[in-house]
Copies of this chain bind each other. A is one copy, B any other.
Amino acid sequence: MSISDNVSRRMVEGSWIRRMFEEGAILKQRIGEENVFDLSIGNPVMEPPPEFDRELKKLVENPMPGMHRYMENAGYAETRAAVATQLSLETGIDFNINDIVMTCGAAGALNVVLKTLTNPGDEVIVFAPYFMEYGNYIDNHGGIVTVLPTDEHFIPELDVLEATVSAKTKAVIINSPNNPSGVVYSKELVHQIGELIGKKESQFGTQIFLISDEAYRKIIYDGLEYPQVFHHHPRSIVTNSYSKDLGLPGERIGYIAAHPDCRQVDGLMSGFIFCNRILGYVNAPALIQRVVRSLQQVTVSVAEYQKKRDFLYSHLVEMGYSLIKPQGAFYMFPKSPMEDDVAFIRELQQWNILTTPGRGFGFPGHIRVSYCVADSVLEGCLEGFKKVAQKFKLC
């Protein structure tokens, strides 16, 4: 084998997702893209809000000398200051630019954080269903992923967590609003997780970091709110992205924010900056860093996503599908009527509906339906879902 054994193995493990994508691409070519209902990926259909276009235009029409050059590896001070101000406002905690590192999206942020923290063999806990890339990110830096089950509402179980955290545990990753389930964790739950981690730190004499991946923080429905993790553990680190809330996932822009108490954690922030550099990101893209600076309070229309959720959720429930109503993000995670979720995916594929099997999220027996698509796709997929529901006698 010419390429790394580990990369090769990981590619094979993930390759059935790729196969689905490829089959989807072939299908689109064969019957026309407009006849395929692609609910497989989280590539938001919504365009960035007008404020983004305005800000970008302003910059491009009035270029400043040096605006495309290297800056500090942590990112522009002005952008970090804007993030810190916004976080201070939202949390009541006093953030400053030294608590923020601009990154190539949340994926870049997570890799930087995990590289900085992880010794070979350190354990990082995640809760299934989970964004499977976490497993790759943890493995990239020598960590061991420990996947914990959740309850029937996809909510972490504290006793399971308590029994799992060990002296080798370096971090716990939570992701709310959750990809793929759409659930939003309550303040009480986050508090309990933080408290439990603190207790375990005392027990083992270690430092355990609570990493909150908040890529979907702003996409929450029904007036709910995702609580700030910072109030619940002093060693909490937020990784965030402008991909979803500003609709620009291709531009690779996000940040790491560490609890101001982490200034006391030896080498942590300079570790992030160093790893941002040596992992080859060097810095978050310059131009877009400048653009997002003034967009801290801007979001794509959440109401539109909520409408899409309501539309698809009510139809699927009416057809007899069993699913938890998602409270955020733009995914739902219905139960597969067949034990084999991949087989069920193929049933839907017969009706030109593309979805992702739950096993792609460490949680077989469900499927992920991404509804960040045009309304015409949501309307078009109903017939297929209905036919399949009938075949499986769901109603």
Q: Which residues of A contact B (CB under 8 A)?
A: 1-8, 10-11, 14, 41, 43-44, 47-48, 53, 56-57, 60-61, 63, 65-71, 104-105, 107-112, 115-119, 133, 136-137, 140-141, 207, 247-252, 265-268, 270-271, 274-275, 277-288
Q: Is the CB of A280 within 8 A of B250?
A: no
Q: Is the CB of A68 within 8 A of B283?
A: no
Which residues does chain B contribute within 8 Å of A267, judged by CB atoms? Answer: 1-3, 7-8, 11
Give me the 6 closest cross-chain CB pairs, A-B, nearest first.
A250-B286, A107-B280, A111-B280, A68-B248, A136-B278, A3-B271
Query: Cβ of A119 and Cβ of B4 under 8 Å apart?
Result: yes
- Asked if A266 contacts B117 (CB within 8 A), the reply is no
Q: Which residues of B have CB within 8 Å of A65?
A: 47
Let me know if B60 and A43 touch, CB within 8 A.
no
In the complex, which residues of chain B have a beta carbon less than 8 angstroms from the beta carbon of A14? 274
A358 smallest CB distance to B (angstroms): 20
Q: How far is the CA of A68 from the CA of B7 in the complex (A)?
A: 29
By the criterion CB–CB under 8 Å, are B68 and A11 in contact?
no
Are B116 and A10 interface neighbours, CB within 8 A?
A: no
Instruction: Give A248 to B57 CA distance when docked, in angstroms.
Output: 18
CB pair B107–A249 under 8 Å, yes or no, is no
Closest to A278 in B: B136
Question: A265 contacts B2, CB within 8 Å?
Answer: yes
Least Cβ–Cβ distance between A301 and chain B, in angstroms? 16
Q: Nearest chain-B residue to A41 (Cβ)?
A: B70
For the complex with contacts A4-B118, A8-B271, A248-B286, 8 further pairs of A-B residues with Cβ separation under 8 Å are A2-B266, A6-B119, A11-B270, A57-B60, A69-B250, A104-B104, A107-B281, A280-B281
A60 to B291, CA, bound (A): 13
Closest to A275 in B: B7
B104 touches A70 (CB 8 A): no
Query: Bound complex: CA of A60 vs CA of B105, how far in Å?
Result: 21
Complex Cα gap A83–B107 (Å): 26
Instruction: List residues of chain B with CB within 8 A of the CB of A274.
Output: 7, 10-11, 14
Query: Once bound together, how far apart are the Cα atoms of A250 and B66, in whole Å?
Result: 9
Query: What's the minimum C-beta distance from A163 to chain B, rounded to whole angstroms?
Result: 24
